[in-house]
Amino acid sequence: MKVTVFGIGYVGLVQAAVLAEVGHDVMCIDVDEAKVENLKQGIIPIYEPGLTPLVKKNYEEGRLHFSTNPEEGVNHGVMQFIAVGTPPDEDGSADLKYVVAVAQTIAKYMTSHKVVIDKSTVPVGTADKVRGVMLEALKQRGVELNFDVVSNPEFLKEGAAVADCMRPERIVVGTDNEDVVDLLRELYEPFNRNHDRMILMDIRSAELTKYAANCMLATKISFMNEIANLAERLGADVEKVRQGIGSDSRIGYSFIYPGCGYGGSCFPKDVQALIRTAEHIGYVPRLLKAVEDVNDDQKMKLPDFIRRHFGEDLNGKTFALWGLSFKPNTDDMREASSRVLMEELWKRGASVQAYDPEAMDEAQRIYGHRTDLRLMGTKEAAMQGADALVICTEWQSFKAPDFDIIKNVLREPVIFDGRNLFDPERLRKRGFTYYGIGRGASLNIA
Ligand code: UDX
């Protein structure tokens, strides 16, 4: 099938590459000329396992095209994906200006029936808005053309985006036109073979499903972080509690890992956007607000431990930081807890020596101007001359370090672990002071 994808960000690029891989003919349109040129050379703007070879191969084999020409994009596909960003506006609501611009573009150039598919995470009611914008633009052109607007949210995770897209757990389709369903079934057929993963519903329910999914996951994390804070004060170990409750199949083991707070491009933004949606319709979303508050506080957990250990004034202190990305297997630092931590340390006069397996360029881009941040080539180098070690991301390569080296290199054998990578008892026996999240039993700080 001929498919056009507007917006070559995370969602758009992965979706386009995966659709091309199964044989569809996919045209990607973006306003960013440099990005489009780079993609043609095989230079991918994000780090995502498996994506670079997939894009290169499908581009070279002629199933994946990149262009900045919107007219070309509209002419190409019957299916027109909107996969542009929906950044928060000044009050935290999702800003729809890019979505609206694409809708206007499609209506401006279309000459035949189009199926417009909202892939971006958009508030409930956006499909109606897209429809309205398009009808208006067609009216101005003085033409009458049929089109459909479908909500088809994306559930991919960064770091596993290609795999998630290739093997989706569900394909949510919100539509008010039965005829469109067949087209979507044909489009997604290769991903929907062994059992039917397509869940059909009305458009508004599909739009809400995306927010509900992300907010539910964020809720699980904040709940567990709250339990961690209780465990710390009650002299219990949240890691034991996690296993104890995860074994209940109704609860499950996933997304109950306590830590130094969730980050990324989705959870913080989507929780806030749903709060704003609720407020706009006069509903007070008490639970969602608590999820957000707990997370904001959780990002202060490591700075608080550091204050508890070293005192308020950190002038002249240097901290080794392992992990800058908001989670492993990505170079994405959006809303990462490492940023809150570094900014707190700098505020109190400390400097940071940081290492991340993938996010060094991103850190350089964001913080390159700072003289109190040194980006180091290895995790060992980050510890040279540092007073203590702080861990913000659970990269695999951090999980079994040589503790003798750590002990010899640090000025003081202290580890602040925001992801509970180590056994507190074992570290204490080796002579470390170890701060984990919710590990009151071993910290003995009840
Ligand atoms: C998320 C959703 O998982 C995905 O379905 C949606 O499409 C986009 O948003 P992503 O932002 O890529 O994906 O990351 P995810 O793996 O969900 O992690 C989000 C954050 O939660 C990370 O900062 C992670 O460290 C944190 N997290 C996750 C926890 O603190 N504890 C957990 O148990 C799980």
On whether the CB atoms of residues 300 and 308 are closer than 8 A, the answer is: no
pLDDT of res. 442: 65
Angstrom CA distances, 309 to 8, 250, 305, 384, stand at: 45, 39, 6, 20
DSSP annotation of 352 reads: E
Could you tell me the domains of the chain? 2-201 (3.40.50.720), 218-443 (3.40.50.720)
CB-CB contact of 279 with 352 (8 Å): no
CA angle in degrees (0–180, nearest 5) for 406-436-386: 30
Classify residue 108 by its DSSP letter.
H
Pairing label, strands 433-435, 414-417:
parallel
Asked whether residue 446 carries a pLDDT value surpassing 70, the answer given is no
**Does residue 444 have a pLDDT over 80?**
no
Q: What are phi and psi of 354, to 5 degrees?
A: -115, 150
In this model, does residue 363 exceed pLDDT 60? yes
Q: Categorize the per-residue pLDDT at 92 as very low, low, confident or very high, splitting at 50, 70 and 90.
A: confident
pLDDT per position as a tens digit, 290-337:
999 999 999 999 999 999 999 999 999 999 999 999 999 999 999 999
pLDDT the model gives residue 193: 87
Sequence-ordered strand ranges (E) for 156-281: 171-174, 198-201
Tens digits of per-residue pLDDT, 214-242? 999 999 999 999 999 999 999 999 999 99
pLDDT reading at 443 higher than 80: no
pTM: 0.93
Distance 125 CA to ligand 1 centre (A): 25
- pLDDT at residue 441 above 90? no
240-265 pLDDT tens trace: 999 999 999 999 999 999 999 999 99
Q: Is the CB of 65 under 6 A from ligand 1?
A: no
Please report the atom of ligand 1 found closest to the CA of residue 156.
7
| Residue nearest ligand 1's atom 25 by CA | 327
In contact, 100 and 130? CB cutoff 8 Å: yes
Alpha carbon distance 406, 383 (integer Å): 7
* Percent residues over pLDDT 90 in the chain: 94
Catalytic residue among 28, 165, 266, 392: 266
Q: What is the spatial distance between Cα 102 and Cα 414, in angstroms, rounded to a whole number?
A: 52
CB-ligand 1 contact for 85 (6 Å cutoff): no
pLDDT in tens, 63-82: 999 999 999 999 999 999 99
pLDDT tens digit sequence for 106-150:
999 999 999 999 999 899 999 999 999 999 999 999 999 999 999
Both tokens assigned to 230:
């209780």
Residue whose Cα lies nearest atom 26 of ligand 1: it is 262
Model pLDDT for residues 151-173, shown as the tens digit of each residue? 999 999 989 999 999 999 999 99
Best residue among 327, 398, 417 to mutate for probing ligand 1, ranked by most atoms within 8 Å of CB: 327
Tokens of 222: 């904040």
Model pLDDT, residue 445:
47
Name the 3-class secondary structure at 354.
strand
The β-bridge partners of 417 are 391
> In the β-sheet with 25-29, what is the strand arrangement from edge to edge?
64-67, 25-29, 2-6, 79-82, 114-118, 147-151, 171-174, 198-201
By CB atoms closer than 10 A (0-12, 13-18, 19+), residue 380 is middle
Residue 242: partners with Cβ closer than 8 Å, 6 or more residues away: 224, 253, 256, 257, 258
Q: 373-420: per-residue pLDDT in tens?
A: 999 999 999 999 999 999 999 999 999 999 999 999 999 999 999 999
What does pLDDT average to over the chain? Answer: 96
Per-residue pLDDT at 187 exceeds 90? yes
Q: Is 266 a catalytic residue?
A: yes
Closest CA to ligand 1's atom 7: 155
